Amino acid sequence: MPHSSHAAHKAVSMTPAMVMLFAFCCGAIVANIYYAQPIIELIAPDIGLSSTAASLIVSLTQIGYALGLFFLVPLGDLLENRRLMLITTAVAVLSLLGAAFAEQPNLFLLVSLLVGFSSVSVQMLIPLAAHLAPEESRGRVVGGIMGGLLLGILLARPIASLVADHFGWRAVFGAAAVVMIGISVVLATTMPKRVPDHRASYGQLLFSL
């Protein structure tokens, strides 16, 4: 197993272009958590959700993210990382499409939970980048990628408002799904396979958190 990790390190070098690519991916993925926040007043009446219950959209997205951190991220220490990332981004695509086409409040709330849950893939990309980076430049690489993540958080709300004003709120989630499809293709073609060498069980990893 250690051989697989070493091979992945050799296969891909964290060049400035790769750092920018990982930063963009992290920013675009984490933005999914925040798109709904400035447009819930547009979403709620359209799907039959009362104004008092509209805040559940944001709450469930954040709860989904917290659940993903606890239950999904530890799998990065057990399963081949690229495959896990691609499965997670596929869930994000389906969830965002579900949000774009949802007509019922319960369905929208469910996919909001899944959007948050699947967005924890950023917490798999960052450790992978740190693993691939040479020790002497690891801090710079991780810092650059974290910059992309923070930019995604900052830009998500104004982008969502702008798109919703011109094309409607459903276009926000439709466009986000398209971006996630593009990210899936990029990850499938550029992200190296990495099989962790951890020997702990899933239960042991959860207990260690």
Residue by residue, DSSP assigns 8-41 as HHHH----HHHHHHHHHHHHHHHHTTTTTGGGHH
**Topology, domain 2-208:** Growth Hormone; Chain: A; (1.20.1250)
* Percentage, residues of the chain above pLDDT 70: 94
Determine the Cα–Cα distance for residues 62 and 95; give it in Å rounded to an integer.
14
CA 209 to CA 207: how far, in whole Å? 6
Tens digits of per-residue pLDDT, 129-147? 988 888 899 999 999 999 9
Residue 209 pLDDT level (bands cut at 50, 70, 90): low
pTM of the model: 0.90
pLDDT tens for each residue of 89-133: 999 999 999 999 999 999 999 999 999 999 999 999 999 898 888
| C-beta separation of 116 from 69 below 8 A | no
Query: In the chain, what is the greatest distance between 2 CA atoms, to the nearest angstrom?
Result: 55
For 54, the token pair is: 């509209």
Note the helical H segments in 32-168: 40-47, 55-71, 81-101, 105-118, 122-132, 138-167
CB half-sphere exposure, 86, CA atoms < 13 A: 16
The pLDDT of residue 23: 97
Residue (of 120, 68, 85, 100) closest to 177 by Cα position: 100
Question: pLDDT tens digit string along 190-202?
Answer: 988 888 877 777 7
**Positive or negative: CA dihedral 187, 193, 199, 201:** positive
For CA atoms 5, 202, 85, 161, the dihedral sign is: negative
Burial of 199 (0-12, 13-18, 19+ CB in 10 A): exposed
